Amino acid sequence: MKLDVSSLKQPAVMGILNVTPDSFSDGGRFAARDDALRQAERMLAEGADILDIGGESTRPGAADIDVQQELDRVVPVIEALVGVTDKPVSIDTSKAGVMRAAVHAGAGMINDVRALREDGALGAAAELGAAVCLMHMQGQPRTMQRDPDYADVTAEVTQFLADRVEACTSAGIPRENLVVDPGFGFGKTVAHNVELLANLRQLQTLGLPILAGLSRKSTLGELTGRGVNERMPASVAAAVIAVTNGARIVRVHDVAETVDALTVLAAVMNSGS
Ligand code: 7PM
């Protein structure tokens, strides 16, 4: 189902579903698909509002994979998921061909860490009519953490997103379909990420829902001294801070824990005087 961006009242939890060969231990496409479906069912039971399916790794240093490989990974998972849930499924990709196949298979949102800057992506998104998450990144995944550099990180991220929103509306994508994301960890130092989280409200000048993804990221590791599998509490804290500072969607690995934390936050926000 399509993500109806304007209907986002309470903060939405987006569960991260990686369908990459390193996300399961033994070989085979079917093992990857079944593993992803089990994870998806669990996240839905835990209260996820959106599932984000990624078949191409965007991690720093990751190699590019080709379109066919990416399609083989994600399309069977999307097809199976839309058969078992009405919750929107998002496709994490930068490739026009993958966007097309994923939306035809039932995905209702395109989550692009390159903000539709690859060849054909803007046109594909406009033609498909799905919701789109535009994310900021400085540089390219392979090299972006070498020397992140900003005079004013919040202002530069906001300006970049404003320019991409303009490119989208000029290409025929309605504003109502757009979500913006500062891209925590994508060409940013720990200090840049902390500053962006503190100033997240400044992105509200764009007038669009804000998505924040901090789950298990290395900034949280640096702040706490924790390894990647020990970052759940820091991730939940980051999600609560992001929502407090204006995020409408949080992209997370730990759905149940995040839902509980946001339930407590909502009770407090709806009380007081
Ligand atoms: C290694 C490093 C593996 C980083 C995976 C990642 C975001 C995203 C990712 C985000 C949006 C991760 C990242 N992060 N899409 N895709 N926003 N919209 O932690 O922050 O999942 S990949």
Using 50, 70 and 90 to split pLDDT, how confident is the model at 24?
very low
Strands 178-181 and 249-252: unpaired
3-class DSSP state of 128: helix
Q: Are 164 and 115 in contact (CB under 8 A)?
A: yes
List the residue whose alpha carbon is closest to atom 1 of ligand 1.
59
Q: Which residues, other chains included, contact 227 with Cβ-Cβ below 8 Å and sequence gap of 6+?
A: 221
Per-residue burial over 234-250, b = 16 or more CB atoms within 10 Å of its CB, e = otherwise: bbbbbbbbbbebbbbbb
List the residue whose alpha carbon is closest to atom 2 of ligand 1.
59
How much is the mean pLDDT over the chain? 93
- Nearest ligand 1 atom to the CA of 214 is 20
Q: Does the CB atom of residue 213 touch ligand 1 within 6 A?
A: yes
Cα 169–Cα 199–Cα 151 angle in degrees, nearest 5: 85
Task: Write the pLDDT tens digit of every residue in 25-48.
Answer: 456 667 888 889 999 999 999 999
- DSSP code per residue over 58-79: -STTPPP--HHHHHHHHHHHHH
Main-chain dihedrals φ then ψ at residue 111, nearest 5 degrees: -110, 105
Alpha carbon of 183 to ligand 1 centroid (Å): 8
Q: For residue 76, give the amino acid letter.
A: P
DSSP state of 250: E
Task: Write the pLDDT tens digit of every residue in 84-122.
Answer: 999 999 999 999 999 999 999 999 999 999 999 999 999
Q: Does the CB atom of residue 111 touch ligand 1 within 6 A?
A: yes
Q: Is the pLDDT of residue 58 over 70?
A: no
Domain ranges, ordered by start, for the chain: 9-269
Pocket test for ligand 1, best of 251, 252, 253, 258 (most atoms within 8 A of CB): 251
Please give the radius of gyration of the chain, using alpha carbons only, rounded to the nearest integer: 17
Q: Does the CB atom of residue 20 touch ligand 1 within 6 A?
A: no
CB-CB neighbours of 54 under 10 Å: 21
Task: Write the pLDDT tens digit of every residue in 139-148.
Answer: 988 889 899 9
CA distance to 30, 81, 176, 183, 214, per residue, from 3 (Å): 28, 15, 10, 20, 21
Q: One of 87, 217, 231, 248 is an active-site residue; which one?
A: 217
- Is 9 an active-site residue? no
Least confident of 8-17, 84-93, 262-271: 8-17
- Nearest ligand 1 atom to the CA of 113 is 15
Walk across the sheet containing 12-18 and list its strands.
Answer: 178-181, 131-135, 109-112, 89-92, 50-54, 12-18, 249-252, 211-212
Q: What is the pTM of this model?
A: 0.95
Pocket test for ligand 1, best of 14, 56, 113 (most atoms within 8 A of CB): 113
- Is 2 an active-site residue? no
3-class DSSP state of 127: helix
Task: Kindly tell me the number of DSSP H helices and DSSP E strands found in the chain.
Answer: 9, 8
Note the CATH number of domain 9-269.
Answer: 3.20.20.20
Query: Residue 31: its pLDDT value, please?
Result: 81
Task: Write the pLDDT tens digit of every residue in 211-243.
Answer: 999 999 999 999 999 999 999 999 999 999 999
Query: Residue 23: its pLDDT value, please?
Result: 47
Q: Which residues, other chains included, contact 145 with Cβ-Cβ below 8 Å and sequence gap of 6+?
A: 60, 187
Q: Which residues, other chains included, contact 50 with Cβ-Cβ below 8 Å and sequence gap of 6+?
A: 3, 12, 13, 14, 15, 87, 88, 89, 90, 109, 249
Least Cα distance to 188 among 164, 219, 161 occurs for: 219
Q: For residue 15, give the amino acid letter.
A: G
